Chain A
Amino acid sequence: MKTWQISVKLNNVRKTFGTKTALDISSCDIHPGEIIGLVGNNGAGKTTLFRIILDLLKVDKNGSVFINDYNTAKCEDWKDITGAYIDNGFLIDYLTPDEFFSFIGKINDIDNEEMNKQLKILENFLGNEILGQNKLLRNLSAGNQQKVGIAAAMLHTPGLLILDEPFNFLDPSSQVTMKRLLADYNKETGATILFSSHNISHTLDICSRVILLEQGKIIKDLACTPDNNRQVMSEIEDYFEYHA
């Protein structure tokens, strides 16, 4: 397995839609090997931030995002080391899951042996309703589509993994598997992982750092260790309770 050293730097990342500021982050560094959990209410700017990191949205003037030394808006080399799943806009829905994985594998120059190995690792997470089913992606349930998207993002063992609300649509067992999968992946590859979630408990279980985003701004940036887990949990819960 590769051992990744991927960092992300955000400088003056602002995004306005008309008069509404969706995101306003003056500076934020994400260090290699961190698992960052992004929490916040609806409309806090979590998906906008992910889209900006992935260069799917234009950052406002003077803003920049660097993945290692690559400015994401200026080159495409960072795409080789990044895997992401935000929504079903990442899925080619007229393919079967097997065809989709094969397609993703080929365009990432993964040979069949390597791909089978990767799929074996993901087998438990994918369950038995996806592979070899001869069903088009558009005919899968939302949960299974989510699983395919996440697995495809991980197929080429990226150094930076970005997942938007990966626990959504998943059944409780799959959520637990998902957590374990992300933690193990981080441990084995040293990959940097960014994900957003409304489930604070899941987030704290695996994250090394939690960022609380509200109205586009970073309100809290908390380091998580097994020792301070409870404290962080109550701090975040207090925040949401106060703003309910």
Chain B
Amino acid sequence: MNKINLFRIIRRNQKIAEKRHPLFERNKAVKIITNVIAIFWAIYLCILGVLLAYGLKETNREAYDWVNGLFILFLITDFFLRFIVQDTPAQEIKPYKLLPIPIKFLINTFLIRMGIRRYNMFWLFFFVPFGILTVYMRPYLSFYNFAGYIIGIWLMFVFNSYWYLLWRTLMHHHSVYILIPCCIYAVLIFCGIIHDDFLINVSISFIDGFIYLNPICFIAVIGAIIAFFFINIPLQHKLIYQEIAKTERIKNLQPINLPILNHFGKTGEYLKLEIKSTIRNRIVRKQFIRGCVCMLLLCSIFSFTDVYDSGVMKTFICVYCFACLGVIIQTNIMCVEGNYMDGLMSRKESILSLLKAKYIFNCIMLIVPILFIITPLIKGKVTIMQILGCIFFTTGIIYPFIFQLAVYNNNSIHLNHKLTKNGVNTKAQMLVSMIALFIPMGIMYLLINIFDKDKAGAIMCSIGVIGTVISPLWLKNIYKRLMNRRYENMANFRKTK
């Protein structure tokens, strides 16, 4: 088989793999929502392109010079967005490794695919309308100048994809590598834009080179692409062998005993499991850290700034200081357990104990925002009643809502290795998490508007206390409903493992 045919087959297989991903195959809602989001951003970028073209028309510079001067910001945004949309090719290459195809050809094929993928053109939704209005419509510039501009911009994003791939691959060795591009960007922005404007001038001159069809600019960017293409080859090669011989790097695995939890029977055992899962599974840990960062961010904003000091917003932020961790980590409730659901289901009422443990774990985690809220409490920014209202509103209203997802979630999450589409939510998951976020918000909004802040706090507290006290009842109810759906859920957990 010649190499062009081989390239086509691999390309077709990649497309099929995307189409037939188990999560997408059985979930039309996800497909539709993903497309709607993509269309939304495409339209948004188009509108932004048009608005900027008109907005920058009356300035002392060409409109495109403003955008071109700050082009580094597009590249930085694009770089970080790629963490969501672009993975390394090593995992995709793995199944082909044993076939009689030269590994070098495989790597080249996947790297070329990376360069010509559609995502690299996504920013053109901004640059095409912007270019039409600012370059093509200029009397002294022609279509060729516009085409040169667009091709040049596209090449810059292709370069960015290889630049990203380099760091993404190195991050497989150690996460600390992310600091290098971050530092480079920070230095460039500080020295080249904030402190001095040399980067702006270089950027304008360079991208103007695309518009004026300067071959040196095209050669430079193509040269950079080729250079990074070749730099990536040995790195990817090394990574493929690491993927194949993948073993977890465990340095002195610490036993986690937590003897105090032995006093809480089965729930204590599941609580231990919850803690071990968070510590030992990369994906679960990341999700937990993300939740903690959000919580700490909200807490810091609330405690140490006066950004959200108006009446309604203050209560909202205060509640979400408490609720955000639970909401973030419990959106995927049961998805971790999907990996060993058969084992859990073959033991009596293990799911009920698990749900209780999860609830207790989330309640215990509220200690962190409580510690943070002490500062605004001392400052007199919030009253004790408001804080109690927020705590119990979280444990008695928001958690019961978010825990409903246990009934509907049926996608297993890979615990320790990332798959790009792993975080895709089902229709029910999305619906219930929306309800869990907005209904309590609605209730709060009503209470705050009808009553004064202390009364609202007292009512929230009362409702929340009731919800918390009756938690064994609603947990039991969730358990019963989950058991009614067990066959469907178990089948899907197995499918997505």
Contact = CB atoms under 8 A, between A and B. Distances in A.
Contacts of B494: 89
B345 to A, nearest CB: 6
Per DSSP, chain A at the interface is loop
Q: Which of B272, B273, B346, B353 counts the most A-chain CB atoms under 10 A from its CB?
A: B346
A48 to B, nearest CB: 12
Contacts of B272: 103
A138 interface: yes
Interface string B97-111: 000000000000000
Given A79-B348, A84-B346, A107-B266, A56 B490 contact: yes
Contacts of A136: 248, 250, 253, 280
A91 B272 CA distance: 16
Contacts of B347: 79, 107-108
Contacts, number: 82
B25 interface: no
Contacts of B341: 89
Contact of B342 (A56, A58, A76, A135): A56
Interface stretch (A5-13, A25-33, A94-102): A94-102
A109 B281 CA distance: 27
Per DSSP, chain B at the interface is helix
B456 to A, nearest CB: 43
A54 interface: yes
Given A103-B269, A103-B273, A136-B253, A90 B348 contact: no
Contacts of B340: 89-93
Contacts of B452: none
A134 B280 CA distance: 13
A197 B491 CA distance: 24
Nearest to B262: A106
Contacts of B273: 92, 95, 103
B277 interface: yes
B428 to A, nearest CB: 20
A219 interface: no
Contact of B346 (A90, A94, A96, A138): A90
Interface size class of A (residues with CB under 8 A): 20 to 34
Given A77-B348, A79-B348, A138-B416, A90 B343 contact: yes
Contacts of B415: 93-94
Nearest to A85: B343
A113 B349 CA distance: 24
B260 to A, nearest CB: 14
B310 interface: no
A21 interface: no
Contacts of A188: none
Interface in B350-377: 350, 353
B57 interface: no
B261 to A, nearest CB: 10
Contacts of A90: 340, 342-343, 346
Given A89-B342, A92-B273, A136-B253, A106 B248 contact: no
B276 A99 contact: yes
A86 B269 contact: no
B348 A134 contact: no
B253 A134 contact: yes
A199 interface: no
Contacts of B248: 136, 138-139
A82 B416 CA distance: 31
A89 B490 CA distance: 11
7 contacts: A58-B487, A76-B348, A90-B340, A98-B255, A99-B256, A103-B272, A107-B350
The 5 A-B residue pairs whose C-beta atoms are closest, nearest first, are A90-B343, A58-B487, A89-B342, A79-B348, A94-B280
Interface of A: 51, 54-58, 76-77, 79-80, 82, 84, 86-87, 89-96, 98-99, 103, 106-108, 134-136, 138-139
Given A93-B340, A106-B266, 15 more contacts: A54-B346, A82-B346, A87-B342, A89-B342, A89-B343, A89-B494, A94-B276, A94-B415, A103-B272, A107-B269, A107-B350, A108-B347, A134-B253, A135-B253, A139-B250
